Amino acid sequence: MKKINAYQIASGFAVLFLIISLFFIFTGNLANSGPFLIAFFLSLAFAVRGFSAFKGFAYTIWIFTAVTASMFYPQYFTSAGSFQFKTLIVPLLQIIMFGMGSQMSLNDFTGVIKMPKGVIIGVGSHYIIMPLVAFAISRIFNFPPEIAAGIILIGCVPSGLASNVMSYIAHANLVLAVTIGAVSTLISPFVTPFLMKLLGGQYIEVNFWSMMLDILNMIILPIVAGFIFNLFNENKEKLRSKVIQLTVFFIIILLTDLVFMKTKQADIQGFLMALLKSMSWFYFLPMIGAIVLRHFLKGDKKLMGQILSLISMVGIAVIITIITATGRDSLLKVGALLLVTSLLHNVAGYSLGYGVSWLFGMPEKDRRTVAFEVGMQNGGLASGLALQMGKIATVGLAPAIFGPLMNVTGSALASWWRSKPPMEENEK
């Protein structure tokens, strides 16, 4: 007789908890269904790890667990005493971006030289298709102005971190995926505020320079810190190369503080204080941290990658949970329709991205890459920008829904493509 393992037992509990939840929902006792829905997702998140075809969905199910808990018990995820949890969003996003940068180097941008056509089509499609689809959705559906602004905001940010993972699973062009994602992120301080002001300015007030500064602080400087960390952690570059790279990174930090000076109308003393602070956090601290960790971890890059990946995954989950709890009331009013429009936005990105790259005669692997890079957005950045606007409970809702949703659709699409090797591989 075959033994029943823990994953199968968890599957049984998941079915039981789902049945109980549905019973309460259909009998009009929605509040009582909360604990059982949470228990259902917890059991399911554990159960799917026992099935190779579904284990990739475990993290997404954990996100649904957190979202469900924050919808039923928002009071536990908004504040503790006088401390507001939403203040954690920007630091968490910076840590996630630092983790991304620490796994990269300037060598990753050689893809721009090797495949300029793919990069131009990918980045161009991303910043044309997603903002215009978002704008169309905001015009067609009668959302309140700040909810509509959130839809446009998620359409104007760079591609999401998960898109590279999906390209890897789907046998797409991973080098192209990394390059498109990196380039779209690096130009986002200029492109995102411009598009947001152009398309979303009718719904909310958009300050171009303020948004540029926020993106530089939340995305670019942490990535620069990650580059510096990687430079000293790997310790493979020659002295001349290190000096050149560190000079480039210093110039980026200097330009960021010049934007700060303009945005905040700061004097020379304020500029110098901001520069000193930026250099301490994003320049010297990564150097010291890399040297110290290299000593203690004995150069174990795999362990370092696992630690940074775990921090990123937990950070994204916490951000989504806080936003959901903060915007619960607004979400109850427009949640179902916002879910449908987010799905429409996401799927349109995949379809149009693939279609445009097909029209330009790109190979199948590159088409899959462009589809993911267009359809998957950086929801964390959109959430951080919504917070900086002081509208996390309204503008931040679309990013909070789009993020988990794109992981579900992206995982499903990547798994389907994985079973169908690209045409050029079949020909070989």
pLDDT at 336: 86
Least confident of 21-30, 203-212, 304-313: 304-313
- Whose tokens are 């007789």? That residue is 1
Q: What is the mean pLDDT of residues 125-132?
A: 97
Q: What is the pLDDT of residues 173-185, one digit of tens each?
A: 988 998 899 899 9
pLDDT at 299: 60
Residue 412: pLDDT band with limits 50, 70, 90: confident
pLDDT at 3: 66
pLDDT at 188 over 80: yes
pLDDT at 2: 60
pLDDT at 102: 83
What backbone phi and psi angles, to 5 degrees, belong to 13? Answer: -65, -40
Q: Rounded to 5 degrees, what angle do the CA atoms 349, 355, 357 make?
A: 100
pTM for the predicted model, two decimal places = 0.89
Q: What is the pLDDT of residues 100-115, one digit of tens each?
A: 888 777 666 666 677 8
Q: What is the chain's mean pLDDT, rounded?
A: 89
pLDDT at 285: 95
Q: What is the mean pLDDT of residues 261-278?
A: 95
Least confident of 86-100, 118-132, 184-198: 86-100
Q: What is the pLDDT of residues 26-73, one digit of tens each?
A: 999 988 999 999 999 999 999 998 887 777 778 778 888 988 999 999
Cα 396 from Cα 91, distance rounded (Å):
16
Residue 248: pLDDT band with limits 50, 70, 90: very high
Residue of higher predicted confidence among 299 and 348: 348
For residues 385 and 214, the answer to whether their CB atoms sit within 8 Å is: yes
CATH number of 88-427: 1.20.1530.20
Instruction: Work out the burial of residue 390: count CB atoms within 10 Å of its CB; fewer than 13 is exposed, 13-18 middle, 19 or more buried.
Output: exposed
pLDDT at 428: 52
- Whose tokens are 């190779």? That residue is 52
pLDDT at 298: 67
Residue 426: pLDDT band with limits 50, 70, 90: low
